[in-house]
């Protein structure tokens, strides 16, 4: 599987986990606004990666991958905020796994963006 397909697969799995986390937080009476922001940014990663894969131009590809990277970083921010406010348990293996998944999306997204931008310059 090439790197773009791997990122798409990881992004989809991450989005599914974010939806489950959102459902848990909503049912548990968790912070609605923070968890809703996490849901939005978490699901937008996969959507933008998918759009990048079908982009007609290098410019569109870079634009969509840049948005996906921004959303991944934003997801990380929301997870950190939920941890700091106590809505997510700091020592949870599920949360640590979610953070690791997110990092495994951010790193290759960054590498793809750098190499794509270098090829267009």
Residue 103 and residue 121: Cα distance in Å, rounded? Answer: 27
8 pLDDT higher than 80: no
Joined together, the tokens standing for residue 98 give: 């979610």
pTM: 0.80
In this predicted model, what pLDDT tens digit does every residue of 71-110 receive, in sequence order? 989 988 988 888 898 888 888 888 888 888 888 888 888 8
71 CB neighbour count, 10 Å cutoff: 23
Please state, rounded to an integer, the average pLDDT across all residues of the chain: 82
């Amino acid at each position: 599987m090439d790197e773009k397909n791997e990122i798409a697969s990881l992004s989809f799995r991450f989005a599914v986990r974010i939806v489950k986390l959102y459902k848990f937080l909503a049912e548990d009476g968790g912070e609605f606004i923070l968890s809703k922001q996490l849901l939005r940014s978490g699901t937008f990663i996969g959507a933008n990666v998918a759009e990048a894969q079908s982009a007609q131009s290098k410019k569109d590809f870079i634009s969509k991958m840049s948005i996906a990277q921004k959303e991944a970083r934003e997801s990380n921010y929301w997870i950190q905020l939920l941890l700091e406010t106590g809505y997510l348990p700091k020592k949870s293996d599920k949360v640590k796994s979610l953070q690791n998944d997110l990092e495994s999306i951010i790193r290759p997204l960054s590498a793809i963006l750098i190499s794509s931008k270098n090829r267009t310059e």
